[in-house]
A and B are shown apart, each in its own frame.
Chain A
Amino acid sequence: MEGKAHENDLNLKATELTLGLPGRDEISDLPNQTKKRSPPADLKNEEGNPDAKNAQKGTAPPAKEQIVGWPPIRSYRKNSLQVNKNTEAETAAGIYVKVSMDGAPYLRKIDLRVYKCYPELLKALEVMFKFTIGQYSEREGYKGSEYAPTYEDKDGDWMLVGDVPWDMFMSSCKKLRIMKGSEARGLGCGV
């Protein structure tokens, strides 16, 4: 099986970043797939024997190869998920979030999806509220400034921005608050 071939090398494949699905590599073991617009007769290779185990190992297929009618989900349900994805951005908690800054007269709102990582988000906040956030470190939080960016998560707890992986932050952040002064220092800015 293909998996065993990697045991002897550095297994770089495991750390490789791809756009494919988990387990996608196995597709190259299959006989030619029934593609969206080509007739199912393509399933057979030249010998007319589409034996899954003996199929030619062609090049890896493009990342988004669609097979007609697979997986077996009714189109109603598929369409419903699509719509969900489109409206999710506007309605799900954690994408458009309010940002408050201690001492500022009004709140702002930002779309977390716009940012790909923490540095981008923090830079945007600095620009929006005209202040400087310090240098982040796991041990000491944001050192070197009066401010600390915090967020309220799904459990209602106030957390320091930057501790968890970006994706987890994106899906659990409900609100942002830029703390200032003594409260901020209490969150581990370092003395």
Chain B
Amino acid sequence: MDSQRKKVLVQVLNLVTSPKDRSSVSLVCKDWYDVERHSRRHVFIGNCYSVSPEIVTLRFPNIRSVTLKGRPRFSDFNLVPPNWGGDVRPWLEVFAAEYPQLEELRLKRMTVSDESLEFLAASFAGFKALSLLSCDGFSTDGLEAIATDCKNLTELDIQENDIDDKSGDWLSCFPETFTSMEILNFSCLNSDVDFDALESLVSRCKSLKVLKVNKTVTLDQLRSLLTHAPQLLELGTGSFWQELTPSQHSELERVFSNCKNLYAVSGLWQATALYLPVLYPVCTNLTFLNLSYAATLQSWDLAKLVPYCPHLRRLWVLDTVEDQGLEAVGSNCPLLEELRVFPSSPDGDDIVDGVTGSGFVAVSNGCPRLRYVLYFCWQMTNAAVATVAQNCPDITHFRLCIMTPAKPDHLTGEPMDEAFGAVVKTCTKLERLSVSGLLTDLTFEYIGKYAKNLEYLSVAFAGDSDQGMQYVMNGCPKLKKLEIRDCPFGDAALLSGLEKYESMRSLWMSACLVTMNACRSLASKVPRLNVEVMKDDEIGDDSQADKVYVYRSIAGPRKDAPAFVLTF
């Protein structure tokens, strides 16, 4: 390719950012592949074992930003034993050598030790953004290293990690000369931070756009922080309950009314009707409201709040808001695109009514633009789900969790097959689906037949026979991730996906009926798959493969697999 054409191509490619698009570009011809790989700045690796760091750095020499995901998703729910893997250290070592100019690292479900964080801080002089979601292995000591040594840090986003929270001292490690922070999220940490250090940090970082503090920060302290940062776009509050004097209360209202650019609010621990009104001035501009930690919020509290939030697009709540709360949402938030309802008592320790089909329908009636739904409930009906699908045909993510496993339709006692049938038939853009309730193979027949855009399917306590899974493997042309637990799918089901697994990211099957022999057979027939079985020593029967994790890989079998992971 002549240099002129190359220049033009590079210019155009700079505007092409999605990994899928860049992948398509690279397949056009060898020249385009070459230009693409040199000009790529960000690489997304959905499964850290599908490729090796050496292969990545060889193909893409100029990467500045990496997203890396490790453990299978069911590890979030304790289904993967500890020390399974996903350690970021081997990646960091290669990156230190090949990408000294690395600026951003976003990790999900990886193991990150304090030493790794220290290594990171020492190896990349221009490092800017660190995001850790659902990771483990580190403590607040590691955060100290980041705060102390990353002089150009713009983003530190620590979310929902299992970490050793020793103290809040790490926050005090940002030097006085440090002013570059734009995104700071430490909401999942429990220790007190030095408030003076936090206040000073917020004051001197004039470009701060996102601030999410933890629950040890009080309302009055929040008031003080907001006076220094009225330019915030996203705010995660600390505890939203405190005995305030009337003047403190009105001062709090005043600082909120000064935050003219705020469009997202979260945190809100212990928020009640008493202090929620201080948010009213910002509510008109709010597009994202996360009330999923406001455990004391009742339906009437929400009903009072939502009329002030007509532009809401994303709402996360707990099921304590009940159907009446959701009715209020349906009546007041016509632009809503995403609703997540989390359970307040997932283990069933408290008797909680929560939300039902009625609330679900109420939201769908008022919010036809719904695209993303996550709904935890104790009961549901086929009719309600069918109505929701009818009202909201643009749904792309439908995750319904009826928390009692294999529960039938609450009114008719029938399986919930027709519910999910309605979803896949009506919501033609559906990309992600999680099913629950009592389901026969018919559900999977519907999924295989109609869910043509489905990429991600989660199944638990469902189906009658191998046929169920076979329907899915023979249909669903775009399937990328399939995770199954506690279903009667066996060897025939596993092997029915032979042709499909290389085009998928991964398959997870646990507590099903798969045997070791079938795993062996699959591995031998499809060489570029890693077929891994996690052995559980408590199970006497060696022929059963209790936890199976199958994924395509060009890196061969894992070199760091622990003893309990067998690779066929």
A residues lining the B interface (CB < 8 Å): 1-4, 19-24, 26-27, 29-30, 33-34, 38-41, 43-44, 48-53, 64, 66-78, 80-81, 84-85, 87-88, 91-93, 154-155, 171
Is the Cβ of B74 less than 8 Å from the Cβ of A69? yes
Q: Is B208 close to A, CB under 8 A?
A: no
Question: Nearest Cβ in chain B — how far from A175, in angstroms?
Answer: 12
Question: Nearest Cβ in chain B — how far from A89, in angstroms?
Answer: 10
**Top 5 A-B residue pairs of the complex, sorted by shortest distance between their CB atoms:** A69-B77, A40-B511, A1-B413, A84-B295, A76-B160
Q: Is B269 close to A, CB under 8 A?
A: yes
Docked pose: A43 CA to B272 CA in angstroms: 43
Selected contact of A77 from candidates B160, B465, B544, CB within 8 Å: B160
Is the Cβ of B342 less than 8 Å from the Cβ of A92? no
Question: Nearest Cβ in chain A — how far from B187, in angstroms?
Answer: 10
Q: Is B345 close to A, CB under 8 A?
A: yes
A–B pairs, 8, beta carbons within 8 Å: A52-B406, A53-B464, A69-B485, A70-B403, A72-B76, A75-B76, A75-B78, A81-B295
B residues lining the A interface (CB < 8 Å): 74, 76-79, 134, 160-162, 188, 239, 241, 269-270, 272-274, 292-293, 295-296, 298, 300-301, 342-349, 351, 353, 376, 378-379, 401, 403-408, 410, 413-414, 438, 440, 458, 460-462, 464-465, 485-486, 488, 510-511, 513, 536, 538-541, 544, 546
| Residue ID in chain B nearest A30 by CB atoms | B406
Is the Cβ of B274 less than 8 Å from the Cβ of A93? yes
**A69-B79, A76-B160 given; A92·B296 CB < 8 A:** yes
Question: Nearest Cβ in chain A — how far from B293, in angstroms?
Answer: 6
Chain B residues near A72 (CB-CB < 8 A): 74, 76-77, 401, 458, 460
Is the Cβ of A78 less than 8 Å from the Cβ of B74? no
| Residue ID in chain B nearest A33 by CB atoms | B405
Docked pose: A22 CA to B342 CA in angstroms: 17
**A68-B79, A81-B344, A88-B295 given; A23·B410 CB < 8 A:** yes
State the main secondary structure of chain B at its contact with A: loop
| Residue ID in chain A nearest B294 by CB atoms | A84
Chain A residues near B295 (CB-CB < 8 A): 81, 84-85, 88
Chain B residues near A53 (CB-CB < 8 A): 438, 440, 464
Chain B residues near A33 (CB-CB < 8 A): 405
Chain A residues near B406 (CB-CB < 8 A): 26, 29-30, 52
**A22-B378, A23-B378, A68-B79 given; A84·B293 CB < 8 A:** yes
Is the Cβ of B513 less than 8 Å from the Cβ of A71? no
Chain A residues near B343 (CB-CB < 8 A): 71, 73
Chain B residues near A91 (CB-CB < 8 A): 239, 241, 270
Is the Cβ of B404 less than 8 Å from the Cβ of A23? yes
Is the Cβ of A70 less than 8 Å from the Cβ of B378? no
Not counting A22-B353, A64-B349, A93-B296, a sample of 15 additional A-B residue pairs whose C-beta atoms are within 8 angstroms of each other reads A23-B378, A30-B461, A44-B513, A48-B513, A50-B513, A52-B461, A53-B464, A67-B405, A70-B77, A71-B343, A71-B346, A76-B162, A80-B293, A85-B295, A88-B270
Is the Cβ of B413 less than 8 Å from the Cβ of A40? no
Is the Cβ of B347 less than 8 Å from the Cβ of A64? yes
Is the Cβ of B342 less than 8 Å from the Cβ of A21? no
Is the Cβ of B538 less than 8 Å from the Cβ of A39? yes
| Residue ID in chain A nearest B440 by CB atoms | A53
Selected contact of A49 from candidates B488, B541, B544, CB within 8 Å: B488
| Residue ID in chain B nearest A54 by CB atoms | B464
Is the Cβ of B296 less than 8 Å from the Cβ of A34? no
